[in-house]
Structure 1
């Protein structure tokens, strides 16, 4: 994208993702393994609380290609189901509405076919066949498949509701939906009010973690937080506003939220220079709001946000019994919550220790 300045969208490319397996849901951490003071938990800072409120709202958006074709020369049917790429996103409404980048979701049948042909040509060559015969393929089925991976490891099918165009071609925003209720939501800020050197935090799923085999399964589904500042407020040639930030981001971060100091979203990570991930550009929250308005989607928090926030505040005040009730309610209303089990276990441990 934008080759004249060597810019690229931060979607993890198929070269990096084809061999990365889908991460299965991980089991809960046994209570005895939790490292926690059994009489009092260390108090969390304002930044810690924002991070805890954010984690369960940020998701991975994964794109697969499912292709099946017939080769008349040998009478064989070949099929391929592979990950083409992934980005990040976040819940913008409790009823399963998610925001990400258009360049994350805009995968065409032709792209799936092209990838299939390249893979099949390699396989035929390895088998001693003429790789040129792939031109004779008869297509049986070609379809992109969209999935959302929640931070607790669960995977849900997704559908695209409205998608713009990749950077340089239009507004690089996409709205997708999964069948879920009571999802924890991030609120949008008014991006017209941001200022140079405001502190920001980028949240998402950089592909570097997934490419390495040194991390455990839980680490693969836990979002990464990086901090920085607003470096500049710019406008693209097509009169679309973007925000430049110094918070590091990497391929895989595309579509991930960037937060202000109140934990509100000012924009989504979209593109940056090939040479460095030390500054990136965001499509703004106000541009995102245009897409939501068009679809009639209201960016509002639900009961989960309220009760989880209350639980964290009570926990931070040392009121563990009251906090436990809030966390248990969150668990009942939204079993997919990635962080609440940890606080339920820690609260239970501390309460039990104080009663002995």
Structure 2
């Protein structure tokens, strides 16, 4: 174990890298999430049992976000002099960080907004009716004085941030259904893109995303809306669209709302993102290599930074029962990326154990 002075020196080195540490990666056949297996000195408390699959899930979870689009509008009625303010989220999807500077990948159909005037027909009619008017009678006189899209990313820590579209294709059948968007954060935890041409039939896969059932049901509490779901399956086919774009087919259950969410290999790398299918159990993916095309076009690198490194090491130290060292790692993660959804849980666990002298 390092001496106290060495620990302090190491912490200073880490903190000095807060604003600059991003490590470029290149998709490769053998990339893995590296959880070191070197044994370290344990505290007396029995370590919490975390399997390799658990570690991968904990590592991936903070990188997966919910994407929401909708409309805001103001409509003026000269008949009664009122301004009607309208706002509605029309659809949700999923996405994931691919670069620490807030770049996110999702589907083009997830970020596509609809005609605001069409969206608000029913809502506007209801408001007019409460004022003793009918939409059919006054529609020609209405003035749409403001319409603008709502574009939001919901982070797993429940923070909501506006996004801008950096590079976008078209919905499946009309083009490549990929969209690169950006929010205003730094040091975000990201996912690696695998080399999708190396994917084989019957490879095991894990799908991560936000099923729509949660926001449409009154059975769940508010926190569940921000909790990503994991499902597992296999690669069942490798196909191509009419324009030659490669597509992967998987067997994992993928309910509505998961569109744009990452599909991972056993190493936690992204092989593609959920895109389309006739039902929840018959799903097709646009591949990670197609995602890379859009990143290259936007001049965005698929990178991982110090947050990924420190959090991953912290999880491993926690798994081995080295709570004091794990606590230091998690503290760095919290300073680098305060929006990290999982690190506070581990900070609290480590702090309690260390405070109790275990």
- TM class by smaller structure: 0.7 to 0.9
Alignment of 1:147-162 (within 5 A): 147-162=152-167
Q: TM-score, normalization: structure 1?
A: 0.85
- Distance in 2 (alpha carbons) for counterparts of 1:272 and 1:136: 43
The answer on whether the counterparts of 1:91 and 1:184 sit within 8 Å (CA) in structure 2 is yes
Aligned counterpart for 2:306 among listed residues 303, 307, 332? 303
- Distance in 2 (alpha carbons) for counterparts of 1:270 and 1:81: 27
Q: Are residues 1:281 and 2:284 paired?
A: yes
Aligned residue in 1 for 2:125: 121
The offset of 1:59, in angstroms, is 0.5
The answer on whether the counterparts of 2:201 and 2:236 sit within 8 Å (CA) in structure 1 is yes
Greater gyration radius: 2
Aligned counterpart for 1:78 among listed residues 47, 72, 84? 84
Deviations 1:3-52 (A, max 9, x none): xxxxxxxxxxxxxxxxxxxxxxxxxxxxxxxxxxx932322111100100
The offset of 1:345, in angstroms, is 1.0
Aligned residue in 1 for 2:71: 65
Aligned counterpart for 1:92 among listed residues 70, 95, 98? 98
Structure 1 gaps, min length 5: 1-37
Aligned residue in 1 for 2:240: 235
- Distance in 2 (alpha carbons) for counterparts of 1:322 and 1:307: 11
The offset of 1:347, in angstroms, is 1.3
Aligned counterpart for 1:338 among listed residues 329, 336, 341? 341
Q: Are residues 1:140 and 2:148 paired?
A: no
- Distance in 1 (alpha carbons) for counterparts of 2:244 and 2:141: 45
Post-superposition, which runs of at least 4 consecutive aligned residues in structure 1 deviate over 6 A? Answer: none
Structure 2 gaps, min length 5: 1-43
SS of residue in 1 equivalent to 2:69: strand
Deviations 1:329-348 (A, max 9, x none): 10111111000011111112
- Distance in 1 (alpha carbons) for counterparts of 2:331 and 2:59: 16
Aligned residue in 2 for 1:50: 56
The answer on whether the counterparts of 1:39 and 1:353 sit within 8 Å (CA) in structure 2 is no
The offset of 1:220, in angstroms, is 1.6
- Distance in 1 (alpha carbons) for counterparts of 2:242 and 2:129: 45
The offset of 1:238, in angstroms, is 2.2
The offset of 1:136, in angstroms, is 3.2
The answer on whether the counterparts of 1:40 and 1:350 sit within 8 Å (CA) in structure 2 is no
